[in-house]
Structure 1
Amino acid sequence: MQSKPIYVKPPTKPAPPPPKFKGGLKVHQLIDQDRPGIAPRQLERYAPPMREQYVPEWRAMLRDCGYPDNVVVLDFETYFDDEYTMKGGGLSTIEYVMDQRFEVLGLAVLDVFENFPDYEQRSKFWVGEEGVTRVLKHLQDKYGEHLERATVVIQNATFDASILAHRYGIYPPHVIDTRGLAYNWDARRKHDLGSLAKDLKLPPKGDTQEFKGLTFRKRYTKSKSRKKGPKLPIQVPTITDEQIVSLSRYAANDAMREWEVFTVMLPRLSRPKVELRVMQHTLELFTKPVLMVDFEKGEGLIRLMEAEIDKVVTPTGHTREELSGDRSFWGLLDRALEAADENPQVYYKPSKKGYILAEAKDDPERELLLKHKDPAVRALMQARIAIGSWPTHIKRVRKIMAQARALGGRLPIALKYCGAHTGRWSGGEGINLQNLGSKGHELVNAVREMLIAPPGHKLTIVDASQIEARVLAWIAGEEELVRKFANNEEIYCGFASKVLGWPVRKPRKEGGIPQIEARMKWARNSIGKIGVLGCGYGMGQTRIFEYADGEVDMDTALKIRDTYRAENPNIVRFWGDIERAVLYTAKYRKPCEMPRGLRFHSLPECDVVITLPCGRELYYHKVKIVPSECGETIEVWNSREHHWGHTWGGSLCENVVQAMSRDILAEAILRLEARGYHTAHHVHDEVVMCVPESQAEGALMAGIEELSRRPSWAPDCPLGAEGVVSDRYGGH
């Protein structure tokens, strides 16, 4: 009988000794200190010297981070209707803000410049364009032209800050996005204001839909009458006094809830001196864009992608509609399979709606159909896949162009701060600029080439070389691999040589015998690169085979796995060590520490907190220990998808290494911007700077220098970088 999962609770008996790790283990007791207004856990992180009078926690933190402790909460209310909206796949943020239909209905303001017994009384709503202009002028007189003497708090800053920037010319340098704070705390939860208020047990947020269609302007809409004949436009009624009062209460309540979320979530932000600057940098990628879009390139890509669809659809003799509809396509495929003397039912699978064709990417039946002996069956499947995938790429190209057109050719770089659990950025606005593709079809790869430098400027693109493999070797204490990285040895070729048993070198870019160079390229990339970069997180034989995409057989995949683990025993040991540390901390609520400054502890609201060597924290809010035949395994709750997910040492290792790599990149970006080199975009381990042509070479050298600089918290971690100067992003 299978054991029932047990949710971890504080033990009733003393915890056993902490697990032993290579290099020793330190067990810490977190000491509570009684200081009014400052949480004990956060005390050493950000608290300024003691003052005689009471200092709220959020204010102490802002002062220590160099942010103004005068806080202004802003929340715009704007016109929207069924067609002019951002919900449900409507307009993007920048299209909405720059549209001629845009109208500000009012602005809720909570101006916190001293301690008040009741902040609720300070939240005010300024009505209409005139009222908003007047209150913004008042705030500028008080806090500076760009509100530089205040910390501006906003929920979903890309929206409200875009209104400030593009409608009023105000660019606050100290913006804190409460949604960003929530992402930092738990990227897997919902982050809208209503969900945050519910999670934090605050008074509820109102319903925005109540104010759909409210306007001060003379507007017309289409008649919804079902009568035959022409539909004449009808005038939309303007907002009434009662609706203004209702909107004012709603907006003031929103501002108050944002303020409360801010005071709760800001103290939870680890490493705030760096993270607040990273949050501001992320926002300014959107509000101060510099990259431009090559519209001619985009239109050309759309034509070529449409041609790719026609190339596989035309031979089938059927229309796109017949091939895209489920029922119609299944009928066509069934007839083709029956004509090939095969039973179509074997290619179907059960679902909630009955049996459906097994055509998902991970369905083995799909691969069988694509390699079917009958050419008609193969042609139908190829057309089906093309119709499903190419329109997605075409839609993305069109969205990129639409968003750039809204801002005169410049593309706002939409990244979500801490969009991933590790703290990495994720993409937004329906274009996901974090995943433009570089290893797929040449037309998909060419989408990134639409991003170009403005006239008189160049793009300096710098890549942190093998950053995850280098960080992994350092954190796991794999000294021999660290030494090889430090000496700039060719790691991929060396590993491939050991797997294959013959010397592998980097392929020559020019000259050489083509067959030999192709073999060297295969060995370095399909054996060496996959082994070094993939096996560090516990990738097994089957996963290596799948990841290689037909470039290696199962026997070679097994040899890659075994060679990596034999060559890097400390990395393999690290997987077990970090898994035991998380198990120990979750089960007994006791802190422990691994070598290299990796620390583990629990909080009342979080089962496991991993503190990285730099001081930033990773949070695993709900951890469940599940008994199994092999001992105990770990499951972590995903709040967004509402399920428990299995995790183990390899996954935890991947989380930590990717988080550290993100921190190295973030620090380098901040240093480059402090040196005057503007970062226009970045993707995982790559930084794109946009500089005047005369500064391009200097920016390249600076980028390589900063991405190769060892951080103070990892002074012996070998880093490297390389880069190019280009007119456009991609093709290098």
Structure 2
Amino acid sequence: MIALDTETFWSAQYSITRLGLDRYVMHPQFKVTLVSLYSPDFEWVGTPDQLPVERLAGETILAHNADFDATVCRMAISKGQMPEFQASRWICTADMAAWHQYPRSLKGAYKHLFGEDLSKDARDEMQGLTPEVIAVNPAFREYALSDARACYRIYEALAPSFPEFEYLLSELTRIIAARGLPVDSKLCQSYIDKLDKVMDKCEAAIPWRSGHKPAPITSPLALGDACKLAGIEPPTSTNEDDPACMKWKSANPEQAIWLDAMSGWRKANKLQESLYGLILRKRPDSRVSTRLKFCGAQHTGRWSGSGGLNFQAIPRSEIQGVSMKKCLVAPAGKVLVSVDLSQIEPRILHWLAGDMEFLSLVSGGIDLYEAHGRASGLYAEDEPMKDFAPELRHLCKARTLGLGYGCGAGKFASVAEALTGGKLKLTPAVARQQVTAYRQQNPLIIALWEKVEAFVRREAKNEAECAVIETRSGKPIRYWDVEFSGKKDEMSAATVKGGPRKKLYGGLLVENLVQCTARCVFGEMLIKAEAAGLPVCLHVHDSITVEVAESEGQAALDLLVNIMSEAPAWAEGLPLAAEGEIRRHY
């Protein structure tokens, strides 16, 4: 086992941030400047052409950001910058740090693990310098070697508590990114042109965009000045889903078009930037890497967007006739099979609470929201709720998805409207009534809030540094440096060591527990899909997409649905369901 660190040429114009990793390493300016190696019995730093590959062949290589270093080495080998070698395995210590809820960065993880500062000043000083200058600078060489040493030390500290399951998921995250998805560049460009016209139309509706000194279209100051000229108070929020914004628009219909135009411009601009990102990051094989960040949400372990293009945020529906999903297309003779877990989080919430009545209804095939209505005593008819009482089903959906974690009445009214696409509008009085009724009708969930909060309070008082909740899968959730304040002894803690603090309460703690459990269930499904020969090319939230031959589409769909409908051995009694489709595009 040996730690490896690579340094590469970069500049303000030529960087991973601007190009993405794939385009960065394929660029004509790509050049590895230094490579460093460290193990307890060996250390080396030098130029890539002098790399002692006999120390790497067949070895397990540690790297703090293995995606970067492994990709850099593959490209350097292909370009003749370094001799060829084949590692037996790459292990990412950044992923290990994130899973343990330490900062992902090498500097941050090292600081909080060992209490020592690791200077990164030399990295900034390398910007724009030629490889020849960097290679002979003693300070840069020592910097590179110190990173490799730090990587090895982090591994030694974290390896005893990092499960093999997580090694597999970390590695699989990189494999999935490398597969990627094909991109239809022509369609991307046609959509970009269409969005230009949409944004022009939005700008035309904004008074502060005209004149010799136009203000930015989304400027709150310009909006405030325009409202002042119109003799009205500006809105407290421009978020179209915010009840305060909705109320302001109703009271000021003539000026409401300003907010609609601002919102429309933001959406179009964001989507256009994503389409540019697809084109910019398109590889020579006409695919784009589907990179995700392992343990991006570190306390729950869920993945997040990475690489400058957030696949987690792809709009589900079209915006002004533009669909980013349609730009991700299966190649000739192939199809994309996508399967989505059905309401996994509320299922896990009731499973953790031990709500057997609800679970038995769901296991028997009853619609999840109808099951909530029946278990809560809201519905007792023989006919399916969606056919006999669709308005009640809207309410049950809002209660199921919106009230399981301690949501208050004020927030629930807006959550209910958003969850039902505007079909359910609750007055403040009705919202309060529903919150009270939910808590009375679901005592097991309320008891779970109280039990988890009481546990964390005890843990925090016994363990000064960190309170730990262990999920049934075995993954810990850490709350660092818990503090108590105020007359109500309110709790706050950091979910990343040394990170920002947040208020803790029973509902939020249970939400974290549910999300972390869902992530572990989903992680097992990813590994099972791969083991079954289904090549995952993207996963977003609770859905998995695989790319297979057109003739194998139905078989792949059936197999993936079966895999995602079966709970892990440690989650006995958890009723899961999944559904999917076969498409030519994502």
- TM-score (norm. length: structure 1): 0.71
Question: Is residue 53 of structure 2 the alignment partner of residue 127 of structure 1?
Answer: no
> Residue by residue, what CA displacement relative to the aligned partner does 1:34-74 show, whole Å, maximum 9, x if unpaired?
xxxxxxxxxxxxxxxxxxxxxxxxxxxxxxxxxxxxx1211
1:181 is matched with: 96
Q: Measure, in 2, the Cα distance between the counterparts of 1:316 and 1:246.
A: 54
Within 5 Å, give how 1:314-393 maps onto structure 2: 314-316=204-206, 319=209, 322-324=214-216, 330=221, 334-335=225-226, 337-339=228-230, 342=231, 346-347=233-234, 359=238, 366-367=245-246, 369-373=248-252, 375=254, 377-393=255-271
**1:658 deviation in Å?**
0.9
Q: Measure, in 1, the Cα distance between the counterparts of 2:5 and 2:458.
A: 44
> Residue by residue, what CA displacement relative to the aligned partner does 1:407-455 show, whole Å, maximum 9, x if unpaired?
43211111111111201111112221122232684657x2233222232
Within 5 Å, give how 1:186-585 maps onto structure 2: 186=101, 190-199=103-112, 200-202=114-116, 204-206=118-120, 207-216=122-131, 238-239=132-133, 242-243=136-137, 245-269=138-162, 272-286=163-177, 288-316=178-206, 319=209, 322-324=214-216, 330=221, 334-335=225-226, 337-339=228-230, 342=231, 346-347=233-234, 359=238, 366-367=245-246, 369-373=248-252, 375=254, 377-404=255-282, 406-420=283-297, 421-438=299-316, 441=319, 446-495=323-372, 499=378, 505=384, 520=390, 523-524=392-393, 526-547=394-415, 548-549=417-418, 550=422, 551-554=424-427, 555-585=429-459
**1:678 deviation in Å?**
1.0
Whether the aligned pair in 1 keeps the contact of 2:218 and 2:262 (CA below 8 Å) is no
Match of 2:479 among 614, 617, 620: 620
> Residue by residue, what CA displacement relative to the aligned partner does 1:118-158 show, whole Å, maximum 9, x if unpaired?
x5xx2211314x224xx34x356x41xxxxxx221111122
Aligned-partner residue type, residue 370 of structure 2: C
Question: Alpha carbons of 1:443 and 1:662: their partners in 2 closer, same or farther (altered >3 Å)?
Answer: farther
Whether the aligned pair in 2 keeps the contact of 1:178 and 1:261 (CA below 8 Å) is yes
Aligned-partner residue type, residue 75 of structure 1: D
1:31 is matched with: none
Whether the aligned pair in 2 keeps the contact of 1:418 and 1:424 (CA below 8 Å) is yes
Q: Measure, in 2, the Cα distance between the counterparts of 1:700 and 1:693.
A: 11
1:622 aligned counterpart, secondary structure: strand
1:284 aligned counterpart, secondary structure: helix
1:607 is matched with: 466
**1:727 deviation in Å?**
1.5
2:179 aligned counterpart, secondary structure: coil
Question: Alpha carbons of 1:456 and 1:358: their partners in 2 closer, same or farther (altered >3 Å)?
Answer: closer
2:192 aligned counterpart, secondary structure: helix
Q: Measure, in 2, the Cα distance between the counterparts of 1:419 and 1:440.
A: 27
Question: Alpha carbons of 1:386 and 1:640: their partners in 2 closer, same or farther (altered >3 Å)?
Answer: farther
Structure 2: any 5+ residue segments left out of the alignment?
79-84
Q: Measure, in 2, the Cα distance between the counterparts of 1:569 and 1:423.
A: 28
Within 5 Å, give how 1:54-69 maps onto structure 2: none
Whether the aligned pair in 1 keeps the contact of 2:207 and 2:226 (CA below 8 Å) is no
**1:174 deviation in Å?**
2.4
Whether the aligned pair in 2 keeps the contact of 1:78 and 1:102 (CA below 8 Å) is yes
Aligned-partner residue type, residue 338 of structure 2: I
Larger Rg: 1
**1:395 deviation in Å?**
0.9
2:81 is matched with: none
1:716 aligned counterpart, secondary structure: coil
Whether the aligned pair in 1 keeps the contact of 2:2 and 2:152 (CA below 8 Å) is no
Question: Alpha carbons of 1:198 and 1:389: their partners in 2 closer, same or farther (altered >3 Å)?
Answer: same
Whether the aligned pair in 1 keeps the contact of 2:362 and 2:371 (CA below 8 Å) is no
1:553 aligned counterpart, secondary structure: coil
2:460 is matched with: 586
2:35 aligned counterpart, secondary structure: strand
Q: CA RMSD in A?
A: 3.0
Aligned-partner residue type, residue 298 of structure 1: C
Whether the aligned pair in 2 keeps the contact of 1:499 and 1:563 (CA below 8 Å) is no
Q: Measure, in 2, the Cα distance between the counterparts of 1:302 and 1:504.
A: 48
**1:300 deviation in Å?**
2.9
Whether the aligned pair in 2 keeps the contact of 1:205 and 1:253 (CA below 8 Å) is no
Q: Measure, in 1, the Cα distance between the counterparts of 2:224 and 2:484.
A: 46
Question: Is residue 533 of structure 2 the alignment partner of residue 676 of structure 1?
Answer: yes
Structure 1: any 5+ residue segments left out of the alignment?
1-70, 144-149, 217-237, 349-356, 509-515, 590-601
Aligned-partner residue type, residue 553 of structure 1: L
Question: Alpha carbons of 1:608 and 1:314: their partners in 2 closer, same or farther (altered >3 Å)?
Answer: same
Aligned-partner residue type, residue 274 of structure 1: F
Q: Measure, in 2, the Cα distance between the counterparts of 1:570 and 1:649.
A: 13
Aligned-partner residue type, residue 434 of structure 1: Q
Question: Alpha carbons of 1:613 and 1:318: their partners in 2 closer, same or farther (altered >3 Å)?
Answer: closer
Aligned-partner residue type, residue 284 of structure 1: I
Within 5 Å, give how 1:82-121 maps onto structure 2: 82-86=12-16, 89-110=17-38, 112=39, 116=40, 119=41
Whether the aligned pair in 2 keeps the contact of 1:417 and 1:423 (CA below 8 Å) is yes
Question: Alpha carbons of 1:315 and 1:581: their partners in 2 closer, same or farther (altered >3 Å)?
Answer: closer
Whether the aligned pair in 2 keeps the contact of 1:76 and 1:107 (CA below 8 Å) is yes
Structure 1 range deviating more: 297-306 or 462-471: 297-306
**1:544 deviation in Å?**
2.0
Question: Alpha carbons of 1:125 and 1:305: their partners in 2 closer, same or farther (altered >3 Å)?
Answer: same
**1:317 deviation in Å?**
5.9
Q: Measure, in 2, the Cα distance between the counterparts of 1:94 and 1:85.
A: 11
1:163 is matched with: 72
> Residue by residue, what CA displacement relative to the aligned partner does 1:174-194 show, whole Å, maximum 9, x if unpaired?
2211111111111xx542222
2:82 is matched with: none
Question: Alpha carbons of 1:331 and 1:257: their partners in 2 closer, same or farther (altered >3 Å)?
Answer: closer
Question: Alpha carbons of 1:83 and 1:635: their partners in 2 closer, same or farther (altered >3 Å)?
Answer: same
> Residue by residue, what CA displacement relative to the aligned partner does 1:367-410 show, whole Å, maximum 9, x if unpaired?
455334351x2233333333444322211221122112x34321
Q: Measure, in 2, the Cα distance between the counterparts of 1:450 and 1:331.
A: 36
> Residue by residue, what CA displacement relative to the aligned partner does 1:529-555 show, whole Å, maximum 9, x if unpaired?
222222222223222211123432125
**1:318 deviation in Å?**
5.8
> Residue by residue, what CA displacement relative to the aligned partner does 1:346-387 show, whole Å, maximum 9, x if unpaired?
438xxxxxxxx8656798765455334351x22333333334
Structure 1 range deviating more: 470-479 or 387-396: 387-396
1:5 is matched with: none
**1:480 deviation in Å?**
0.2
**1:172 deviation in Å?**
4.8
Question: Is residue 582 of structure 2 the alignment partner of residue 725 of structure 1?
Answer: yes
Q: Measure, in 1, the Cα distance between the counterparts of 2:307 and 2:353.
A: 37
Over the matched positions of the two proteins, sequence identity in percent amounts to 24
- TM-score (norm. length: structure 2): 0.88
**1:198 deviation in Å?**
2.4
Q: Measure, in 2, the Cα distance between the counterparts of 1:336 and 1:471.
A: 47
1:230 is matched with: none
Q: Measure, in 1, the Cα distance between the counterparts of 2:174 and 2:269.
A: 30
Question: Alpha carbons of 1:688 and 1:572: their partners in 2 closer, same or farther (altered >3 Å)?
Answer: same
Whether the aligned pair in 2 keeps the contact of 1:504 and 1:523 (CA below 8 Å) is no
1:226 is matched with: none
Q: Measure, in 2, the Cα distance between the counterparts of 1:502 and 1:440.
A: 37
Aligned-partner residue type, residue 324 of structure 1: P
Whether the aligned pair in 1 keeps the contact of 2:340 and 2:542 (CA below 8 Å) is yes
Whether the aligned pair in 2 keeps the contact of 1:323 and 1:383 (CA below 8 Å) is no
**1:78 deviation in Å?**
1.0
Structure 1 range deviating more: 470-479 or 710-719: 710-719
1:197 aligned counterpart, secondary structure: helix
2:560 is matched with: 703
